[in-house]
Structures are given as structure tokens and as C-alpha cells.
Chains A and B, each alone.
Chain A
């Protein structure tokens, strides 16, 4: 147990600071599951606001003392603002260098994009200029049918699959080993297996897939989900995808009880991250900005002019698993890997608090655990019979689950 505690601590200490610029709230698409309730075409960040935020952060090196930093750009669709982003990144590099900031040697720019204008000249120029410090994730939901079910153009309602998929080879060439993020809602369950396999067939080796945290699940969804994951498991094992490909639904670190004291850490990084919007407001994570909340007021923790109100960060930095969980979750036999999002917790809470964990995914997690157990039992048996288990254990990739 102590060993586990030690490992987690090291991983957390080594965590990079994640700083997110919400550069635009506009997007070409109007995805049906998009959590951004308040998307619009008006709110774009100005360079001036970005600059003030950067100055505030870089001039406080002792406060922002994480070893490394990820500068995240999100939207809407961030590449709609590629010129602004290019300018921001130039300024960032210049200032980190001039200030002799320790992040100059350890920074990364990160994007989640819908991939539609990935091949455009401005985007490509930007990529070439920054390629050594860049990671980009393109979102594809799976097969054309599945993708176009949700990811449709704002005005025409037409599916966007073809416009994205044409850019995949270029993307994979520029970022070999890049992964994609898939979000599963109730209507998507029947397509899980074919979607994951389809993404593999496009050459995407790492599929980060998870179910949404919102309370969208219908009666029987957990059974269906379990069945889908089991046929996906069969396929991955039969076709031996497990040698090179990963799917985040299957993880060895899943479905064990959690010790109340030693395994009490918060899941979500809100509060250790920082988001900045077009008005120059700071948030503990983008999910607390008004455009991503359904029922609650934005939780603003400061702004570029007055700085961060540290008292407002205290609740986030004091969060632990048990204090925000119901007894049922504390005692749960399969708690490990059951995730939550602080923003969704806040949005769904009975009162204005981040200390009430939403458990809308409970039955989905339990279904996942059952399918996951099936997967590993089946896979290990096969490997043992083939005398390959040891080799598999040695080469297996450690895999950090990304849930948001």
C-alpha cells in the first residue's frame, strides 16, 4: 500500500501545470453532446488579454513552480484562431526565454481540435514552426455513421466525418502515436465496438474513450454497454490488437476497492490547472466557465488585472475522495477507476458546492468493471497458453487515463 501511495505522489508532484486559453467560443460544428452550453461567435480572446495573463503567470515563477507546463488552447474550435495563437505562442517563447524561466526548457503547446482545417496553410505553418513542442489531438467519434450522428456542421447539419478523416494521414505522419478522444453518451453505446476498431483501422493506436459524466443514462444502458465492451474485448484479443493498440476502457488498474486513507486523492485536477477566457477571467478549469455550465453560476477565481484570489483556490486544493463521496462510494468494492469531473459535480450538486460528487456514472462504471475483468482474464489465459505472458508484461505500456 505504501508503495502505491509513494508512486501516486511522485506522479502528482511531477504533474505539469496546465494553463488553458479559451481563445474562442465559436466552432464550425454543433456536436449534439457538446457540453459547451453557451457557445457563440462573439467571444474571441484578444492578444492583449492573453498577454496580460502570460505576464501575470510568468512573473510569479515561485507560485507557478511545477516542473513543466502545458499551454492548452481550446474553444470552440481553437484552430479558428490560429493567427492569434501563433502570436501568443511567439510571445510565450520570447518571455520564457527573456525571463530565464525554468519552463523554457519544459513546455508544450496542446490542442484538441475537430481537425477540419488541420491541413490549411496557417495551421500547417504553425505546426511546422512549433512541432518539437506540440501535441495535437483530433476528435473522431468512430465510424462515419457514428461520427456523423453527433458531429454535424452548425448551419447545414451535415456530418463532418469526410472533412476530418482526409486529414488523419497527415496528422499521424506529423504526430506518430497520437491518440484520439472519444466520448460515449447513451445513444452511442451500440457503436462502441465498431468505432474503436474503425479508429484502429485508420492507424490511430491510442483510443481514449470514456462515458460522459452527465446524468444521461437510460434503463438498460449498463447491460448494453457491458455487452459492447465484451464483444470489443473478444475482437481485440482475437485479432491481437493488444500488441500495439490501446483502448482506455480496458485498464488493469480498475475495479478494486480503495483504501480510505491511502487512496484518498482527488481524481480531477481542477484548481491545479488554470483557464483564462476572452474577458481575462481565471477559472480553476474550463468546465467552470459560464459557457460550460448548465445550472450554476460561473466560478471565477480572479482575473488578469487583479490576479488570482487564493482563498477561492483553497477548496479545490483541499479536495479529497472521501470528503466529497457518499458512504456508498467510500465502501464500494469496485471503486478504483471510477472517475469524476469537478465541474460536472459542481453543476449537478444540490447546493453551490464542489464537495458533492455526482454518481450518474455508477452503473456504467460497474458494467465497465465487469467487462474489464472479462478482458484481462481472457487475455491473460491466452497469453499463458501461448507462453507469452511474461513478454507481454515486460513490454506493456503504462497508460495514463485522460478523462477530460
Chain B
């Protein structure tokens, strides 16, 4: 069932996830479409998340936005929002860090591995950070090794912080500790996106990849073809998996395996390295009442159901 509506206020709205937004020219959503989008969300009982560009919005837009309870996703330059987006570890570290904020750090493996110390220095200053590795699909065996080590380092720091009575949530390490069931991105199942052209998309990535991939419009409503393929029970690997924190990104799935419901090997291994790091951290700290089992594979494909 749909629960959230992401509204891209502008063609240049910041990317908050795996995809890049290459658009250079601003183009705001029309005021009519913005109002209609809000009305749609009210009638369908959806929570709205507005995604902003770095440029200021005209005053009338802010007025319309404020007619409804919502959350804001903004570039870090805006300094205040429900979620602030940075595009590298350095960008995160170079900005004034606000303790109360939730940050998304979009990063590539090189940036992440190289700037790990910088990250460790700053990440515990805030209550929550979502790390998004945008090039998971390029991870090699060597990268898996490096990633495992990096997670171990982050885990050690977290342990120390817990020792001192603090706790910062880092999605790739601590989310799994707290989860008892799947908690994925759920684009196409619980979340859809309204683009500045007045059409609905599974997520902004699908819109930016090809405008023709829309799943409906404000005038005609939402109609997702083969909607079942966005559901967990139709994902043969994910439904047997306990990397509950995994984004299970349907857009990356489509890109790497041509199927929305089937993840790549790289996606699964990365998520399992995170899961296993979480398991070790939980074992050491017992900070939550949860249990993560010992398993001997990193890719559920190896233990898939076969008949």
C-alpha cells in the first residue's frame, strides 16, 4: 500500500539516493501541479517529502508547501531541513555540522575508503547519517575486503561512543541492529514520486533515466504495470534474506540484472557485509534486544530456493 509521496519541486532537485541528477537548468513544477500533488496525497493519505534544488523557491511555492504537514529534503548548503544531502565525505565534513540534523552522505567507494578517518571524526557528531554508496555495482572482490575493514573501523568507533554513553545511527551499521523485519526503500510499493512534469514515477531515478517510464499522472492517477514485482513476496532472493536494512533498490536491480525484483551479486554482498558488521557490533554491545544469526554466505543467491 502506498504511504509516501516524494515531490520533486524542480528538475534540479537534489539527488538523495543512488542516482545522479545531471540536470543543469532549473525548471520548477507548476503551481497547479504542486497543488494537485498535495491534494492527491491528502486524499490517498500519503506523507509528503519535498525535494529541493539549491536555488531559492519563489515565495508562493513556500506558501503552497506549508499548507500540508510534510518533510523537506534539501542540499547541505541549505543548512536546515529534515534531511540534508551531501555529495561526498569531504562536503559533509567541510560544512557546519548540526547535531540535531539527519544527513545523507552520497559517496563513491573511492571517496569513502580514502576519507574514512575524516568520516570517523565527524559522523558521531550527529544523531543520524545515511550513507549511500552510489557505485555499488562496480565493487570488486578487493573492494568487498576494503569495505569489510572500513565497517570494522566504524564499528570500533561506535563501540567506543556507546561506552561513553552516546549513540549515533549510521544506517549501514546500526540499522540492522534495530530491525526485526525488512525495511527497504520500497519504491513502487510504498513510495512513489511526482516529477516536475506532473507525472508519477517509481522513484526519481526512473524519471531522470527516461521520462517515458511514468506510472501515471495527476490527471489519470497511478497505474503501475506488473505492480507485484515491486513487492517483497515477488523478490525471490530478498524474501529469504535477513539483511533487513538493505535498500533493495529496484532501480539498481533493473540496471544490473534487467529485473526489478532481482538484485546484483554486488548489492547482496555489500548488504551482507553490513549485516555481519552489525551482528558483531550487537554481540559486543548488546545495545538492543535483537538477534542476528551467524550465516556462512554473503549472497542469498547461493542458498536460493530450488526445486
Interface residues of A (CB under 8 A from B): 5, 8-9, 12, 262-265, 299, 310-312, 314-315, 317-320, 323, 349-356
Contact = CB atoms under 8 A, between A and B. Distances in A.
Interface stretch (B70-78, B114-122, B190-198, B256-264): B256-264
Interface of B: 225-226, 229, 234, 236-237, 256-266, 301, 304-307
A299 to B, nearest CB: 7
B226 A311 contact: no
A250 to B, nearest CB: 25
A198 B226 CA distance: 44
A311 B257 CA distance: 5
Contacts of A349: 226
A372 B100 CA distance: 71
Given A318-B236, A320-B236, A351 B226 contact: yes
B301 A318 contact: yes
A27 to B, nearest CB: 30
17 contacts: A8-B307, A12-B307, A262-B307, A264-B307, A314-B259, A314-B263, A315-B262, A317-B301, A317-B304, A318-B237, A318-B301, A318-B304, A349-B226, A350-B225, A350-B226, A351-B226, A353-B259
A12 B265 CA distance: 24
The 5 closest A-B pairs by CB, nearest first: A265-B307, A315-B259, A318-B236, A315-B262, A311-B264
Given A310-B265, A312-B258, A320 B226 contact: no
A204 to B, nearest CB: 33
Given A5-B307, A8-B307, A263-B307, A323 B264 contact: no
A323 B236 contact: yes
B213 to A, nearest CB: 10
Contacts, number: 66
Contact of B234 (A8, A265, A314, A355): A355
Nearest to B300: A318
Given A320-B305, A323-B236, 7 more contacts: A263-B307, A264-B307, A312-B258, A314-B259, A315-B261, A318-B236, A323-B261
Contact of B262 (A5, A263, A265, A314): A314
Contacts of A323: 234, 236, 261
A70 to B, nearest CB: 22
Contact of A352 (B237, B258, B262): B258
B236 A353 contact: no
B215 to A, nearest CB: 10
Q: Which of B226, B234, B237, B265 has the most CB of A within 10 A?
A: B226
Contact of A355 (B259, B306, B307): B259
Q: Which of A8, A263, A318, A319 has the most CB of B within 10 A?
A: A318
Contact of A314 (B226, B257, B307): B257
Contacts of A318: 236-237, 262, 301, 304
A299 B258 contact: yes
A353 B226 contact: yes
A356 B226 contact: yes
A231 to B, nearest CB: 37
A355 B234 CA distance: 9
Q: Which of B234, B237, B257, B263 has the most CB of A within 10 A?
A: B257
A349 B306 CA distance: 24
